[in-house]
A and B are shown apart, each in its own frame.
Chain A
Amino acid sequence: MSFNIRSNILSSSLEYYLTHYYEALTELQQLSNPMVGYFTNKIPVELLDAMKLHPVRIFAFKHPQAQQGAYERYIQTFACSWLRGILDNGLVNGYKDLEGIIFSTGTCDSLQNVSDVWQKVFAAQLTYNLTFPIKSNKAAGTYLENEFKQIVSFAQKHLKGSSDFKLTESIRKYNLKRKILQKVANLVSKGQLLYVTFAQLLYFSDLLPVDKFTQIFKDFPPTNNDDSISVTNQDEIPRLLVSGGMWDNWELFDIPEWNGLVADDLSFGHRNFNYTLAETDSMKSYVESQLKRTSEPTAYDEKNQRLESLGEQIKEHDVNGVVLLTMKFCDPDAFELVPIRKYLESHDISYLNLETSPDISNVGQLRTRLAAFSELLL
């Protein structure tokens, strides 16, 4: 049971840091390299790290002083609920601890427009718009290589980015981080760690400098772990997989109805650690590896990667049912829902669609629906 106890301690520690996310940013600002904020997983974190910058994900975790609805002075209520939360938080202090912010534009309409609004509201803050191509062919590669070169030039000029550039080393560090997360994901799949703790770890991994994260968690999980240990009775609950796009609130998973959650298909979950990049100093090779990553809901899925990856996950984790988590007013999520449903139906896999927003104001309803879904699967 020692591993279980450690898991609980881990969960408490992670929760502490995440609930004090904004204070943690202030602390990190003094301790780490200059921080650069980002929103989506379409971001070359390795490049930023190579310039001795610390890429930090901007979460929708509610700032204690945030005034809900403050965003309405700038954007409408039908903007994606995740971005509305982020704008509300930003209006408290404008993420002053960050050296600058990189927007992944060309992803979805809400983010595209919010990036415009952001640059007006926080005019003093340094921002950069990075646009990944929709395609993944040679022309797209050449374009992206130039985008990356531009961002390097911008970061070195304006964001205190170092010109002592060691890309291979940074890719190696991030590959290690992803490997660690893959190992922890296996624990979740085996029922040895609750998904909520894993979700906390995922968020934490996007907050901490990569060196620190890999240093702390390099031996995690312990190799002598007893496979028979389980945090839940796996025979009595169905095995669930949660699929969706962006999701920024671990509290959603902190309810017993999710105890059977063994895997995810989320932007900052599986799709953010399910790949290994070629360890190279060549920008061209780096770009090629980036373009091979699993498609996001926001993108045009040229090769049906998303559905294929979902299918593989379902098989690998022996999943009984899929929960489709969609965020209110997220167009990409809403569009993806239809082909995913068709796919699941054609493969005779049960699913449940839960629509909510990062403030999970409808948590009671979600619990009831989840419980009913799990009962049906048994």
Chain B
Amino acid sequence: MTSVEKQRVYRRLNSTQSVKNSQAMYYFQSKNPYLHDEGKKIAWITSGGPVEFLVAMDILPLYPEQYGAIAGSAKDSTRLSQVAESHGYSQDICAYARTSFGSILSPDSPTPLSEIDGIGGLATPDMLICGNNICGTVLKWYQDLARIYKIPLFIFDTPPLIDDNIPSYYIEYLTTQMNEYISFLEQQMNKKMDMGVLTEVFQNSKNSIELWTKILDLGQAIPAPLNCADRFLLMAPVVSQRGTTETVSLYEEVYQEVQTRVDDEEGAITVPERFRLLWDNIPIWFNLYDFYNTLAQKGVVFPVDTYTNAWSQNFQESGDLLKDAAVMYSNIYLNKTLQHKIDLISTLAKKYKCDGILYHSMRSCKRYSLGQPITRVEVTEKTNIPGTLIEGDMNDSRAYSEGQVMTRIDALLELIETQRN
């Protein structure tokens, strides 16, 4: 590529730096050598796991999936995956899991978590929390982590939802597990859960999610104030720190800045917006900015995606906190049917005035990806919005061919142009 082709055509958000700083501090705290002396512990938790309970119990939650994204962005995930493969893990399994195993088993330093992280890698966990509401893979992944670290593992089992009417015995099963979860944590921390604190943490979570949803909603504006890469970076706190007041403050700052962009009709990209596409799936972390920047040069912007939208699911208050939490954590995008995905993608594509849809078909995330061919057909039938599948991976650069991907995207853009004329 020439230097002209590599020219940056996106606008940076100032508040992105605040998010980065906050994340850096969060990871810095996790490496505090006196953490245990201060009565705290560390839990590794899946991205769909009920984190509020940990925050309320002074347990620092860390996310191997988020670590995977960091290692991917640092272009270190393929190396770590290869380390995992050299220990017997198949190249076909989740690349986040391979990155995680690679970071544990690597003879060299794992990827640093921020500029102020000297050691690299996630801090060693005291316990593991796994919610299978995002996929079945995490069960096997966390089972192996429990064997490696020889530490306790709590599983929050969420049977997949067939439709919006959740049977009462599902809710009973989920709520009972919330009580079991509390007992588990009390045992680990040797103290009782303060339900008042838990309620406060949930309120912070609710506020964070509401603000996050408002930020995403601003993407409906033309020109789009945020591109995919912005959202993928900004989402970090709503995933890992959503039970804290800091995240609420942080998102207030982000919201203000994005709203100002909308008011000023300032887009996320510096060139005229020609194509608005919806992104389905996890991003290509190892190529994040280059990928979206290359497309932005063609006037392509992504005002919405299904991945960051998955954290906009808030809980309905019925007065029973544990039940509400149980229902919310079950009612997750990846724990629902393909029909739900089709409906949601169709709704989002219309709502955000998209011209096309890009389905990232990731061989290492079966739960998110399998069924995209039929999804593409049905969404187009419903909305008359064309889409295409591109093959790649979130963390394994060996499964990605930029030439092939760009050819497919170019074909989609041509189709959109043709339909316009």
Contact = CB atoms under 8 A, between A and B. Distances in A.
Interface string B300-339: 0000000000000000000000000000000000000111
Interface stretch (A217-225, A283-291, A329-337, A356-364): A329-337
20 contacts: A72-B373, A73-B374, A75-B371, A76-B369, A76-B370, A105-B160, A106-B132, A106-B160, A109-B136, A113-B338, A116-B338, A117-B370, A129-B160, A139-B176, A139-B177, A142-B169, A142-B176, A299-B139, A331-B94, A335-B140
B367 A109 contact: yes
A301 interface: yes
A3 B117 CA distance: 71
B410 to A, nearest CB: 21
A5 to B, nearest CB: 44
Given A106-B160, A142-B169, A335-B93, A75 B141 contact: no
A134 B371 contact: no
Nearest to A141: B173
Contact of A134 (B88, B90, B139): B139
A243 to B, nearest CB: 15
B252 interface: no
B414 interface: no
Given A76-B363, A76-B373, A143-B173, A341 B136 contact: no
Given A331-B136, A338-B89, A301 B363 contact: no
Interface residues of A, number: 49
Contacts of B169: 142-143, 146-147
A212 interface: no
B143 interface: yes
Given A106-B136, A143-B170, A74 B373 contact: yes
B159 A133 contact: yes
A7 B169 CA distance: 49
A37 to B, nearest CB: 18
B143 A300 contact: yes
B87 A338 contact: yes
A297 to B, nearest CB: 8
A331 B338 contact: no
B136 A78 contact: no
Nearest to A330: B92
A120 B162 contact: no
Contacts of A78: 92, 363, 366, 369-370
B58 interface: no
Contacts of B369: 76, 78
A328 B132 CA distance: 23
Nearest to A341: B88
A334 B90 contact: yes
B69 to A, nearest CB: 20
Interface string A122-141: 00000001010111010110
Contact of B370 (A75, A140, A146, A341): A75
Interface string A70-89: 00111110110000000000
A345 to B, nearest CB: 10
Contacts of B361: 76
A107 interface: yes
A331 B137 contact: yes
B180 interface: yes
B372 interface: yes
B230 interface: no
Interface in B328-375: 337-339, 361, 363, 366-367, 369-374
Contacts of A107: 136
Interface in B373-402: 373-374, 378, 389
Contacts of B108: none
B374 A117 contact: yes
B144 A338 contact: yes
B167 interface: yes
Contact of A121 (B143, B176, B374): B374
Contact of B172 (A110, A117, A143): A143
Shortest 5 CB-CB contacts between residues of A and residues of B: A116-B338, A335-B140, A334-B90, A113-B370, A146-B169
Interface string A256-281: 00000000000000000000000000
Interface in B96-154: 132, 135-137, 139-141, 143-144, 147
B157 interface: yes
A129 B162 CA distance: 8
A326 B93 CA distance: 13
A181 interface: no
Contacts of B221: none
Given A121-B374, A133-B173, A112 B136 contact: yes
Contacts of A109: 135-137, 366-367, 370
A326 B136 CA distance: 18
